[in-house]
Structure 1
Amino acid sequence: MLLNKESGSELRIYGCTRAASAALSHCACIVFTVTIALLSRPGTSWFSWHPFFMTLGFSFFMTEAILLFSPRGSPLKTLPHKTKSRAHWILQCLCVTCAILGLAAIVYNKHLSGKPHFTSWHGLLGVIAVCAVALQSLAAVPLIYHSLAKGWSLAKLKRYHAATGLVAYLLGSGSLLLGLRSAWFTGSAGEHTWYLAAACCAFNALVVMNQVSSAYTAKKRLQS
């Protein structure tokens, strides 16, 4: 009886911790995106669109798309899974659109200034992240229209989609973190702003990793 009470208390604490983490993640992605928008002032130059769109895509839309499936932090947790899946795909399409626009902005800006393209780790990782999230979103179409995936079970498709999605998200987060080391950001933001932005980005990555790994670890336990 005592063991049952202790396990029940642990589950409640664990549940509250995950709910608090998801809520903080929602706040973190908003704070990070707004901070970059205020610093970049989109529309003041071609370059200004690059950090704005990249942050809006990877930090806001992609984070929110993944948090839709959070068991304790989803804003749509009372809705059917099919509705969440459609909303997730729409947010992912917005993420891809923003990522492509952000990439186009920096490419055109480099072209105007006559500078070489993708010479830094930030640039290389960024273009890889854009390609990865675009391909991953296209590969998700069979999850919506399962008849397109002949010979593949829905469970296997979801497992691969979650794994590749996590990789794409971490690539995007890594690119954003490297962008915080750029001359533009270090010259525009103060020390406290830098630490706040880095903490928001890193925290979201940890929450997403925990959500994806916990979901599929739980499924394996149920199947074993």
Structure 2
Amino acid sequence: MVIQKKEPEPETRFYGFTRTTSALLTHIISLGFTLFIALLSRPGSSLFSWHPFLMTIAFSFLMTEAILLFSPYGSPIKKLSHKTKVQVHWTLQGVCVTCAMLGMTAIIYNKHLNDKPHFTSWHGLLGVLTVGAVSAQCVAAMPLHYTSLAKGWSLAKLKRYHAASGLVTYLLGSGSLLLGLCSVWFSSSVGGYAWYLSALCPALSALIIMNQVSSAYVAKKRLQS
């Protein structure tokens, strides 16, 4: 008796195609936007230049790629074990925090040298909040990496809390990048359609990542129900 395999339904194929396309688009946006800011800021040309460069690497590239590792449609290492993905995710997030800290240090020291007030704009306030949030997120995730620290806690609940707080942190980072595009430095360098295209990059990435995280947990709830 020959058992024929069921062909995937057109709706399922279309869903998979859109998910794969969205993930691929996010990879392209995160890398392209980071390279664009690197070319614009020319890191090393001044102390200030390190601020936009490092912050963009942290929140546009590293954090995006760290989240996409768990995407079933766009992970560059989807064939590797979940444990390996967690280790790579942890490493990328650690580098993300380091870049964010260095980027914040660069702008603080630059303002100190030029005798300018600190954190007087919405970009500055949201930026320091984001750096604090991503640092706290990494510390709070340690029980997931070292399960011996999770005594008395449900790992399933910790994973849900980590995903939810991670999404909030990512949205804060995207908001900080968007406000950075409104700064005098960027607005004086980029205008017209190029500015709107630049603003679309973190906004679109945030929407796709938000959809990925929410869809993953909706799917888990369906399986558990």
Tell me if structure 2 keeps the 8 A contact 1:39–1:189: no
Residue 75 of structure 1, CA deviation? 0.2
- Residue 86 of structure 1 is matched in structure 2 by 87
The one-letter amino acid paired with 1:218 is A
**1:75-100 per-position Cα deviation (integer Å, ceiling 9, x unaligned):** 00000000000000000001000100
Q: 3-state DSSP class of the match of 2:76?
A: coil
Tell me if structure 2 keeps the 8 A contact 1:57–1:94: yes
State the TM-score, normalizing by the size of structure 2: 0.95
Q: Percent identity?
A: 69
- Residue 145 of structure 2 is matched in structure 1 by 144
- Residue 125 of structure 2 is matched in structure 1 by 124
**1:122-143 per-position Cα deviation (integer Å, ceiling 9, x unaligned):** 0000000000000001111111
- Residue 187 of structure 2 is matched in structure 1 by 186
Write the distance in 2 (CA, Å) between the matches of 1:90 and 1:77.
17
The one-letter amino acid paired with 2:140 is A
- Residue 136 of structure 2 is matched in structure 1 by 135
Write the distance in 2 (CA, Å) between the matches of 1:187 and 1:39.
11
- Residue 217 of structure 2 is matched in structure 1 by 216
Write the distance in 2 (CA, Å) between the matches of 1:109 and 1:14.
48
Q: 3-state DSSP class of the match of 2:48?
A: helix
Write the distance in 1 (CA, Å) between the matches of 2:191 and 2:204.
20
The one-letter amino acid paired with 2:179 is L
Q: Which runs of 4+ in 1 moved over 3 A?
A: none
Aligned pair count?
220
Tell me if structure 2 keeps the 8 A contact 1:29–1:60: yes
Write the distance in 2 (CA, Å) between the matches of 1:193 and 1:91.
29
Consecutive unaligned residues in structure 2, runs of 5 or more: 1-5
- Residue 51 of structure 2 is matched in structure 1 by 50
State the TM-score, normalizing by the size of structure 1: 0.96
Residue 188 of structure 1, CA deviation? 1.1
Tell me if structure 2 keeps the 8 A contact 1:180–1:198: yes
Write the distance in 1 (CA, Å) between the matches of 2:200 and 2:20.
19
1:96 is the counterpart of 2:97? yes
Provide the alpha-carbon RMSD of the alignment. 1.2
Residue 153 of structure 1, CA deviation? 1.4
- Residue 70 of structure 2 is matched in structure 1 by 69
The one-letter amino acid paired with 1:104 is T
Write the distance in 2 (CA, Å) between the matches of 1:194 and 1:34.
15
Tell me if structure 2 keeps the 8 A contact 1:66–1:88: yes
- Residue 23 of structure 1 is matched in structure 2 by 24
Residue 192 of structure 1, CA deviation? 2.9
Write the distance in 1 (CA, Å) between the matches of 2:195 and 2:106.
23
Q: Which has the higher helix share?
A: 1
Write the distance in 2 (CA, Å) between the matches of 1:142 and 1:191.
47
Tell me if structure 2 keeps the 8 A contact 1:68–1:76: yes
Residue 222 of structure 1, CA deviation? 1.3
